[in-house]
Structure 1
Amino acid sequence: MNALKPFFTLFIGCICFYQSVIAQTSTINIYPQQRYSIGSIQEFDRSKYIVLHATQMEHDFIGSEKLMDYVINDLDVYLGRNNGIMGGVIHRSKENPKQTGFVDPNFMETAGKRFREVEYAKKWKHTHQYESHNFEMVGGQVQFFWTGHSTNINHPEKGWTISGPEAIGDFMGQFINEFYRDKGTPISDGPIRPEYVEVINEPLWELIDGVADLSERKEPKEIFEFHNKASQAFKKHNTEVKIGGYTAAFPFFDDADFEQWNSRMKLFYDMSGEYMDFVSIHLYDFNHHHLGDNDPTTFDGPINFTGGRIEATLDLMESYSMKKYGTVIPILISEYGGRDHATEGKPWYAERDWDYMKSMSPMMMQFMQRPDHIVKAIPFMIGKAEWGRKENPYPWRLLRQEFELEGKSKKWVFTDQIKFYELWSEVKGSKINITSQDPTLLVDAYKDDNHIYVALSNLTRIPKNVSLNLLNLPKESLLKVEGKQLTLKDHQPILVLINSQLGDTYQLDSEGTAIITYTFKEEITSLVNIKETKHYSDLILQEIQASKATTYTFDKLNTTNLSSAKIRIGYSRPHGQKVFPTVRVNGKEVQVPQQLMGQSQHLRPQLFTSIEVDVPKEYLLESNTVEITFPDEGGHISSVILKELTKNNISE
C-alpha cells in the first residue's frame, strides 16, 4: 500500500569509502554460486524469524487496520504468539461437574464452536486475508494455570480451583482441538491451529525468583514435574501440536559456577526432556541494569547476551541434549530483544526504541545460523499493549499515540521499532556461502533469483568499515548495489538508504545493522553446495586446570568431500584470567582468534563465551582428538563442537 510507505525516517546518500581513523576495515568474501545448507536447510524462513508478537485476531489493530496491512503485506511480517487467549478462555470456563478441578468438556465444545463459527468466521472475517502469515503459538500464564489457583484471578470466589497439571494439560488439549479447525477444512470453519504450546510463561521467575516471601517459593523439580504431567495430559487429546517449556526467563547458566545450569536447565532436560517437543527460552540484552539493588544511581551496562554468550548458551543446550537423548531437542525462543531498567517506567521516547531494537537484528542473525534446531524466534514487540499501561504506557510497543511525540491527537502511529521490520522487509531466498575473520561482525547472505542480500551487524560500539568482495561473478553482470542501515543519529533511530557501487567500503555505525542488496541482470546459478554438519562432544562442563589439556574425541568425520572445519569452544573464565586457550588438533596447534564475539562482560560475575577456531583440512582425519589448554586455572569448558563443512558440485 504505497500511501503507507513513508512511515520510516530516511537519510539518503552514498555511505561508501569512509576511511575513519577509529574504524578498522573488515573484509568479507561472498560466494554467490556456492549454496550453503545447515543440516538439510537452505532457505531463509521468514515465518520463523520475521515475526511480530501478535495474532491474526489482534485487538491492538482494531481501528488501525491500515497499519496492520502495512506490516503484513508491505513488510512481509508473520504473526507468531498469543499468550492471552487461553487465560481468557479458562477465566470464562465452567468446572466439570463430574471431575472436580477440571474444565467442563461441554463448555469447551460450545465455546470453541462459537469462537470458530461466530468470532472468527464473522467478526474477524476481514483478517482471513492474513491467515497465510499466521504461524501462531499459544502459552499459559502462572496466574491462571498453577495448581490451586482460581480461574478467576480478580474474583477467586467466582471461579473454580485448578486441581493440578493434569487438569491444565487436559484444558489445553481440549482448547487446541475445539477452538481451531482441522487440516483440510475451509477457512470459515475457524482459525488455523497453532503449531506450539508453551505450558507456562517464565514459571521459575513467577514462582521462585520473583517471589519475595522465601516460604512461598516453589522448587524447580515441582515446576518441571508440572510440565511433564501437563504434557502427558495434553497429548491424550492432540499429538500433532508441539508442547514444551520451561520458558526460561534469564538463562545465565554460568551463574554460581554453573549451579544455575545444573539446578535448572540441566535438571529440566533430565526430568522433562522425554516429555517436551521443544525447549523454550527468553534472551534479553540490558542496555542498563539495576544490578540487583533497584537504585537508579547504580544502573550500569551493557549486560548482553548478544555475541559469545548466546553461542555458548545454545551450544551447551544442544550438546547436553545430544548427550542425554542422542538428538537435539528443538529450541524455541519465544521472546528476545532489548531492555533498559533505567528507562522502562518512563514515557515513550525514540532512543529507548533503539535501545530495545538494536539487539534484535544481531540476535536474530545468530539464531539464523541454527535453522535446523531453532523452530521459531520471536522479537518481543507488542502492538498497543494497553493491558500493560501503568503510570506510562508499556514500553515494548509497535504502536504509540501521536501526542506522545507531537500534537494532541490520540491517533495510533508506529513507534520507531517498526524500523526493524522495514530493515528486513526484502530479505529472502536460499543461503549462500559468506566468510569473515572478524568475530565482532555478524554476516549472512541469501540469493533469490537475480538478487543477493547481504546482512551485516556490528556487535561493537565503535564504527566499523566493511569491504565486501563478491567473488566469481563478472562485474558487467551487475545492475546495481543498494541497501539500508538501521542506526542511531541524534538520539533518533533512522534507516539510512545506501546508494553504492561494486567494491565500495561501507561504514557500519555503532551497533548498526545493514542489508546490502545486489541486483544482477539475470538469475545466478548455484554451482557448489556447502553443507555444514555438527559433531558434538559428550564431555560437558569440564573444569579448567592450569596448563593441563582437556581432550575431546570426534569420530566419523566425512573426509572425502571435506572443505574445511571449525572447532567451537564454549567456556567460562574468571575476570583477570587468560581469556584464550591453546588448541591442538591431532597434535598440531591451530591459530586461535584473539578477539571475543560481542561486547564486554565485565558486569557479569565471570566471562561466558564461545570462540570458533578454523582447522586446516589437512590436519583432519576420520577420527580426531582436540586438546584445549589454558595457562591458568579457573572456569569450565562448557561444550566443544566440531563443525564439518563439505563441498559438492551441483547442477540446477
Structure 2
Amino acid sequence: MNIKIKIISISLLISITSFSQNAKVSIDFTTQKYIGSESELKREKYFNIHSSFSNWGLAFEADYLFDQLDIKFGRTFGGPAPFRKSKTEIPSPSVAKTNGANTVKHWKNAPLFNKYKTNDLIITDHPRSAFQLNTDYDKIAAYNVEYIKNAFPVMPKYYEVMNEPFVHAKDYVKTWAETGGVILEMSKLHKVVADKIHAEIPDIMVGGYSSAWPEVDRKDFDHWNTRMKLFMDTAGESMKFFATHLYDGRNVAGDFNYRSGSNSEAILDLIESYSYKKWGVVKPHLISEYGYTSKGLLGKPYSPELSGTCLTSYNNILMSLLDKPDRLLKSIPFIVGDGNWFYQDKKNNPDGHPYPWVILRKNKDGVKKFTDLKKFYELWKNVSGKRIDITSNNPDIQVNAFLKPEKAYVALNNLHDKEQSIALDFLNKSADHIKNITLRRLYTNTSGIPKLIYFTDLSVMKNIDLKPGETVILECDIDTIQFSNSIIENNSYSKTYLQKIEANKTISFDIDNVETAKKGRAFIKMGIGRAHELSKSPKITINGHIAKIPSNWAGYDQASRDQFFGVINIPIDIEYTSSGTNKIEVTFPDTGGHVSSVILNVERMSKN
C-alpha cells in the first residue's frame, strides 16, 4: 500500500492575525522540564494501539505502522479467562497449564512475534469469562496464576483482571438494587487474584478496575462511594495501579459529556487524592482506553466524520495525560487493529461493516485499507526527546514540548469550540536556534472530515490560529542546544478530600511534603462538583495569602451534564508557598456540592 501525506511547501497558509491575541504560549528551548523525576518522553506510555503483536491482521502494514510510525502495542483480551468454557466449573491448575501451553503456540506463530514482541503490554478478560458470583476466588486465582505462567513467551507487564466489570454487574442478578453486592464481590476477586499473582509472578503488575463510566460525581458522589472508593477500600492495597477509561460522548451509561479537559482532570485528581489519603502515596494510573464513543455507532458504514470526532478526543485527552508521566504507567487511545471478528458479528453487524475504531478496514471487495485514525500516529510521528519548558496563559490551549539533538517538537491543542489566536513567545533567544519549521496540522473541515496537512520550509512563527479542536505540531530543525536551566514540577496532596460545601464555612486542606523555591511557578488545583448555578469562585487563601480565582478552565462549560465537575487551575505566587506543610483554606458564598480535591502544584526553577 502506498502511504501518502499531503505536504504543502508555502508559508503564506499560516494564519497570522493582526487583532489582539487571546492566548499566549511561551517556549524555552534552554530550560529542561521535569515532572517528578520524568523528563524523557517515553513513547510506550502514550503512542499505543489497542492490540498486541499476536494480531495477524496488523502484519499487513507492519513496517509502516511499527517502524515508520513507531506505534507501540497496548492491550489484548488474552487473559486466563477461567470461565471461557463453563460458567459453573473452575478448571484445575493442570488444565490451566495445558491451556497456557496451547496459547504460547498462538503467540509464537504470529507473524509479528519475532520482530515486535514486547513485555510492555496489558492483558485482560471480559467479565463473563473472568468472574462468576458465589464461586471460590482462591481456585480462580490458582487457575489464573498457572495459566499466566505458561501462556506467554514474553511476560506481559500489566494485568487487568476484568475489563469494565461494574457495568456488567446486572448480568449476575435480577435487579439493579442487587448490583452493589456484585460490585463488592468483583472487588474481592481482584484482591485475591492480585495477591496470588504478585506472590508467584513478580514481573507482572495487577490492577483495576478498568472503570467504563467514571461519572464519580453522579448522585452527590454516590457513584464514587459505591464504585471506585469501594474498590479502593476493598482491593486497592493489593493493586499496583488504578485503571480508568476516559471517553468523550457516552460510554455504556451516564450523561453525554466531554471528559476532555477539566472533567477528566477532576476524576484523576480525586483518585490520586484518595490514594494519598489511604496509603500516603499516589498509586499510578493506567488509562487502558480513551477516546470517543456513543450509542448507535456499531454496524454502520465507515464514517470519516466519526473518525474526525475520535481524533479530536484522542488529542484532547492525550495532551492532558502527557502532563502526568510521573503517575501514569500507560495510556491507550481506543484504536484497534483490523477488528476482523466484528465482520462475523451478525447480531450487531448484519451488513458486514468495519468496527468503528479500527485502523485497518476492508472495502466491499475485501481489500484492506487504512482508516483516518492512522492520522493520530502520523501527527505524532518521531515526537520524542526531553521535555522543555512551555506554558500557556489560556487553559483551553494545551501545550507540550520536547527537544532532542537537532530537533524540537512543540505541540499545541485547542480544546475550545471556537478558533483561537495564539501569540508564540520564544524565550531566552530560543528562536535564534531555529533553522526551519515543518508544521503539522490535524483538524476537521467544515464537513467534519479529518485533515492532516504539512507545511514545510517555514521560518520562526510569531502567531498562529488554531481551528476548533485542532492540534498542531511545530517540528523545528535546530542548532545544538545545551540546557542552562531546569524546572522541576511536583504535586503535593492533602489527607483531606471530598468535603461538602456550606455557605461561608471554611474548608481547610493541609498540604504535606511540599518542596518549593524562590523562583518558579505554583498553582492550586481545585476540583469541585456543584450545580451549574452555584459559584465556582470561592475565597481561597494559601498560608494566609489570597489567591485570585480565574473564570476559565480547561474545556467546555459542561452544560450538558447534570452539574459541573472539574478542576480549576489557580495560579499563585510561588513565594506564597513554604517547604513542608502548607495550609489552603476554601470558603464558598453558597451551599451545595463538594470540593473533591485540592492539590498544590509547584514548579521549582534553577540554573544548571
CA distance in 2, matches of 1:168, 1:607: 41
Equivalent residue for 1:460, pick from 406, 411, 416: 416
Task: Check conservation: 2:498, 2:594, Cα contact below 8 A.
Answer: yes
Equivalence map 1:99-118=2 (5 Å): 101-116=89-104, 118=105
Equivalent residue for 2:3, pick from 2, 5, 14: 5
Give the 3-state SS of the residue equivalent to 1:634 in structure 2.
Answer: coil
Task: Check conservation: 1:562, 1:617, Cα contact below 8 A.
Answer: yes
Q: CA deviation at 1:111?
A: 4.3
Q: Give the letter for the 1:270 counterpart.
A: D
1:445 corresponds to = 401
Equivalent residue for 1:601, pick from 552, 558, 561: 558
CA distance in 1, matches of 2:60, 2:35: 38
1:131 corresponds to = 117
Which range moved further: 339-348 or 254-263? 339-348
Task: Check conservation: 1:17, 1:504, Cα contact below 8 A.
Answer: no
CA distance in 2, matches of 1:29, 1:572: 31
Q: What are the Cα deviations for residues 616-646 of structure 1, in whole angstroms up to 9, with x where unaligned? A: 1232333432222222221111110111222
Q: CA deviation at 1:55?
A: 0.6
Is residue 415 from structure 1 mapped to residue 371 from structure 2 by the alignment? yes
Structure-2 change in CA distance of 1:102 and 1:514 (3 Å)? same
Give the 3-state SS of the residue equivalent to 2:74 in structure 1.
Answer: strand
Structure-2 change in CA distance of 1:649 and 1:362 (3 Å)? same
Task: Check conservation: 2:494, 2:512, Cα contact below 8 A.
Answer: no
Q: CA deviation at 1:168?
A: 2.5
CA distance in 1, matches of 2:167, 2:596: 24
Unaligned runs of 5+ in 1: 149-161, 181-189, 293-300, 404-408
Q: CA deviation at 1:316?
A: 0.7
Give the 3-state SS of the residue equivalent to 2:550 in structure 1.
Answer: coil
Q: Give the letter for the 1:641 counterpart.
A: I
Structure-2 change in CA distance of 1:580 and 1:20 (3 Å)? farther
Q: Give the letter for the 2:427 counterpart.
A: L
Task: Check conservation: 1:315, 1:639, Cα contact below 8 A.
Answer: yes
CA distance in 2, matches of 1:368, 1:633: 35
Unaligned runs of 5+ in 2: none
Is residue 428 from structure 1 mapped to residue 384 from structure 2 by the alignment? yes
Q: CA deviation at 1:25?
A: 3.6
2:76 corresponds to = 82
Task: Check conservation: 1:16, 1:504, Cα contact below 8 A.
Answer: no
Q: CA deviation at 1:497?
A: 1.2
Q: Give the letter for the 1:70 counterpart.
A: Y
Is residue 223 from structure 1 mapped to residue 182 from structure 2 by the alignment? no
CA distance in 1, matches of 2:318, 2:173: 31
Q: What are the Cα deviations for residues 232-277 of structure 1, in whole angstroms up to 9, with x where unaligned? A: 3333431221111111110011000011111111111111111111
Structure-2 change in CA distance of 1:164 and 1:347 (3 Å)? farther
Give the 3-state SS of the residue equivalent to 1:510 in structure 2.
Answer: coil
CA distance in 2, matches of 1:516, 1:591: 33
TM-score, normalising length from structure 2? Answer: 0.92
Give the length in aligned residue pairs.
596
Task: Check conservation: 1:567, 1:612, Cα contact below 8 A.
Answer: yes
Supply the RMSD in Å over aligned alpha carbons. Answer: 2.6
Q: What are the Cα deviations for residues 592-630 of structure 1, in whole angstroms up to 9, with x where unaligned? A: 211121012112110001011111123233343222222
Q: CA deviation at 1:215?
A: 7.1
1:186 corresponds to = none
Task: Check conservation: 1:454, 1:516, Cα contact below 8 A.
Answer: yes
Equivalent residue for 2:204, pick from 227, 241, 245: 241
Task: Check conservation: 1:11, 1:494, Cα contact below 8 A.
Answer: no
CA distance in 1, matches of 2:161, 2:527: 30
CA distance in 1, matches of 2:485, 2:61: 42
Q: CA deviation at 1:34?
A: 0.9
Give the 3-state SS of the residue equivalent to 1:169 in structure 2.
Answer: helix
CA distance in 2, matches of 1:511, 1:412: 29
Equivalence map 1:537-552=2 (5 Å): 537-552=494-509
CA distance in 2, matches of 1:475, 1:255: 48
Q: What are the Cα deviations for residues 315-373 of structure 1, in whole angstroms up to 9, with x where unaligned? A: 11001100101111121111110013354442211101112221011201111111111
Structure-2 change in CA distance of 1:558 and 1:138 (3 Å)? closer
CA distance in 1, matches of 2:219, 2:97: 49
Structure-2 change in CA distance of 1:53 and 1:227 (3 Å)? same
Is residue 397 from structure 1 mapped to residue 358 from structure 2 by the alignment? yes
Q: Give the letter for the 1:387 counterpart.
A: W
CA distance in 2, matches of 1:583, 1:637: 12
Q: CA deviation at 1:561?
A: 5.2
Give the 3-state SS of the residue equivalent to 1:58 in structure 2.
Answer: coil
2:142 corresponds to = 170
CA distance in 1, matches of 2:63, 2:320: 29
CA distance in 2, matches of 1:556, 1:494: 46
CA distance in 2, matches of 1:397, 1:559: 46
2:284 corresponds to = 330
Structure-2 change in CA distance of 1:289 and 1:436 (3 Å)? same
2:162 corresponds to = 200
Give the 3-state SS of the residue equivalent to 1:355 in structure 2.
Answer: helix
Structure-2 change in CA distance of 1:28 and 1:619 (3 Å)? same
Equivalence map 1:563-578=2 (5 Å): 563-578=520-535
Structure-2 change in CA distance of 1:68 and 1:105 (3 Å)? same
Task: Check conservation: 2:498, 2:595, Cα contact below 8 A.
Answer: yes
CA distance in 2, matches of 1:235, 1:221: 21
CA distance in 2, matches of 1:333, 1:569: 22
Give the 3-state SS of the residue equivalent to 1:359 in structure 2.
Answer: helix
TM-score, normalising length from structure 1? Answer: 0.86
Equivalent residue for 1:316, pick from 270, 289, 293: 270
CA distance in 1, matches of 2:7, 2:298: 27
Structure-2 change in CA distance of 1:212 and 1:424 (3 Å)? farther
Q: CA deviation at 1:413?
A: 0.6
Percent identity, please: 30
2:127 corresponds to = 142
Which range moved further: 435-444 or 469-478? 469-478
Give the 3-state SS of the residue equivalent to 1:282 in structure 2.
Answer: strand
Q: CA deviation at 1:169?
A: 1.9
Is residue 589 from structure 1 mapped to residue 546 from structure 2 by the alignment? yes
Structure-2 change in CA distance of 1:11 and 1:231 (3 Å)? same
Structure-2 change in CA distance of 1:379 and 1:225 (3 Å)? same
Structure-2 change in CA distance of 1:562 and 1:320 (3 Å)? farther
2:14 corresponds to = 16
Is residue 631 from structure 1 mapped to residue 589 from structure 2 by the alignment? yes
Equivalence map 1:362-401=2 (5 Å): 362-388=316-342, 389=345, 390-391=349-350, 392-401=353-362
